[in-house]
């Protein structure tokens, strides 16, 4: 069953666009905050509570990653990272109960892979070749 597209109007971050990419730590902060909120969503699911607000908060931060990580200089990297971010957000939108914990764990792993790649020298190559393959899966 194909995933429904994530509504863009509710996924915009509260961060002003002028802040995107200005501080070197902003991209890692976005990733860490998204992972934290995904962990909170997992805890909600385990308690049979609604994870929606945590997942929406994580998606907001994930959508900021392409501009915060790559900037405008590398358009291929930005485009691929935007595709991967969109994929992660669509998958997060499909998470709702305990049967979706594996999906949530997969998206956490993918986000951690992007983070690890970004803090190494091979970030652009991994994001362009490796992480983009997740979006096609």
- With a cut of 50, say whether residue 73 has pLDDT above it: yes
Q: What's the mean per-residue pLDDT of the chain?
A: 75
pLDDT tens string 109-121? 999 988 887 777 5
User: In the chain, what is the straight-line distance between the N-terminal and C-terminal CA atoms, in Å?
Assistant: 13
In the chain, domain spans = 25-136
* Spatial contact of 56 and 110, defined as CB atoms under 8 Å apart: no
The string over 10-26, giving b where at least 16 C-beta atoms fall within 10 Å of a residue's C-beta and e elsewhere, is: ebebebeeeebbeeeeb
CATH of 25-136, one of 3.60.40, 3.30.70, 1.10.287, 1.20.120: 1.20.120
| pTM score of the predicted model | 0.70
């Amino acid at each position: 069953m194909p995933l429904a597209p994530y509504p863009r109007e509710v996924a915009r971050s509260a961060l002003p666009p002028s802040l995107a990419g200005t501080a070197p730590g902003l991209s890692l902060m976005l990733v860490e905050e998204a992972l934290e909120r995904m962990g909170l969503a997992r805890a909600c699911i385990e308690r049979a509570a609604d994870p929606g607000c945590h997942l929406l908060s994580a998606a907001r931060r994930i959508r900021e990653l392409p501009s915060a990580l790559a900037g405008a200089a590398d358009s291929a990297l930005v485009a691929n990272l935007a595709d991967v971010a969109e994929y992660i957000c669509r998958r997060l939108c499909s998470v709702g109960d305990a049967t979706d914990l594996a999906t949530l764990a997969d998206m956490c792993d993918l986000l951690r892979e992007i983070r690890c790649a970004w803090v190494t020298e091979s970030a652009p190559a991994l994001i362009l070749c490796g992480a983009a393959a997740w979006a096609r899966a």
